[in-house]
Amino acid sequence: MSELYPWLAATYDKISQTFTESLGHHALLIKTDQGLGAESLFDSLAKRIMCQTPENAPCGHCHSCHLMSAHSHPDFHLLASQEGKDIGVDQVRAINEIVAQHAQQNGNKLVYIQGAERLTEAAANALLKTLEEPRPNTYFLLQTEPSSSLLATIYSRCQVWNVPVPTESEALTWLSSQFQAETSELLTALAMNLGRPLLALETLQQGFIEQRKNFLRQFWLFYRRRSPLEILPFFEKECAVQQMDWILAF
């Protein structure tokens, strides 16, 4: 199985157990924030579903596992935004035609929809027809962020899982194993990124801690003087959203 980040293991185990008990839902909608490494969760679940002899984890030895590791399994399909555009109805119709056919490897078929909130209304309605009448041994993994919206009818056909942000203790333990710094600095990086460990690691690696200190000094001047114009020159176009997060975490 792919290396799972520690805070994702519980979610993986719960979902995997439903398949072990033959209760696995045909459509899993997993909501997760950026910076939690959820790609490894989706990769692990996909391999678990496609494995020919799984237990709690994919065996790693069957032909299907080898194909998944080589990214060449003919019954695994990725549906995602192309060149920043929304996922269109033609893309969904093409997937619908594929999953209506027999599996080439005589096992499960899996469609991974990355950024499901990018489905146009027409695409979502086309997908809905397939979700309402699923073919045997056909599964869907839908990924979206917690704040994103989907058609209520899509929600109603899926089993929804929310990936939690790790506890401070979990995040700190992992972060300290990845980057050497004072605990206070690690905690600051986590606070700057609302507890998301991978973004905190990036913050440390790119030296954003010092940038934040300088920015907040100017923010404090603005706050005390009640002069909003003073802070404007310190906002950088490329990272304005991140700078707003710094203020929120202040």
pLDDT given at position 1: 47
* pLDDT tens per residue across span 146-173: 988 888 899 999 999 999 999 999 999 9
More confident residue, 239 or 104: 104
Q: Does position 127 have pLDDT exceeding 90, yes or no?
A: yes
**Which CATH number goes with the domain that contains 69?**
3.40.50.300
- How far apart (Å, rounded) are the C-alpha atoms in residues 250 and 189? 11
pLDDT given at position 170: 96
Q: Does position 248 have pLDDT exceeding 60, yes or no?
A: no
Q: Does position 133 have pLDDT exceeding 50, yes or no?
A: yes
Tokens linked to 209? 């801690």
| Residue 182, domain member (yes or no) | yes
**Do 215 and 133 fall within a single domain?**
no
- Tokens 């792919």 appear where? 2
Mean pLDDT of all residues in the chain? 89
Q: Given 162, 197, 225, which residue is the final one in a domain?
A: 162
Taking the CA atoms of 193, 197, 200 and 202 in sequence, report the sign of the dihedral they define.
Answer: negative
* pLDDT tens per residue across span 52-83: 998 888 999 999 999 999 999 999 999 999 88
Q: Does position 94 have pLDDT exceeding 90, yes or no?
A: yes
Enclosing domain of residue 127: 6-162
Helices (H), the chain: 9-20, 38-50, 63-69, 89-99, 121-132, 152-156, 168-178, 183-192, 197-205, 208-225, 240-248
**Do 111 and 212 fall within a single domain?**
no
**Do 96 and 62 fall within a single domain?**
yes
pLDDT given at position 34: 92
Q: Does position 243 have pLDDT exceeding 70, yes or no?
A: no
**Do 128 and 103 fall within a single domain?**
yes
Q: Does position 144 have pLDDT exceeding 70, yes or no?
A: yes
**Do 134 and 222 fall within a single domain?**
no
**Do 28 and 127 fall within a single domain?**
yes
> What does the H/E/C string look like for 181-233?
CCHHHHHHHHHHCCCCHHHHHHHHHCCHHHHHHHHHHHHHHHHHHCCHHHCHH
**Do 153 and 209 fall within a single domain?**
no
Q: Does position 210 have pLDDT exceeding 90, yes or no?
A: no
**Do 42 and 139 fall within a single domain?**
yes
| Residue 143, domain member (yes or no) | yes
**Do 56 and 134 fall within a single domain?**
yes
| Residue 183, domain member (yes or no) | yes
| Residue 1, domain member (yes or no) | no
Q: Does position 186 have pLDDT exceeding 80, yes or no?
A: yes
Strand partners, 134: none
140: alpha, beta or left? (left if phi > 0; alpha if psi -120 to 50): beta
Q: Given 124, 141, 162, which residue is the final one in a domain?
A: 162
Domain count, the chain: 2
Per-residue confidence at 222, pLDDT binned at 50, 70, 90?
A: low
| Residue 235, domain member (yes or no) | yes
**Do 90 and 32 fall within a single domain?**
yes
| Residue 186, domain member (yes or no) | yes
**Do 155 and 223 fall within a single domain?**
no
- How far apart (Å, rounded) are the C-alpha atoms in residues 9 and 24? 17
**Do 133 and 11 fall within a single domain?**
yes
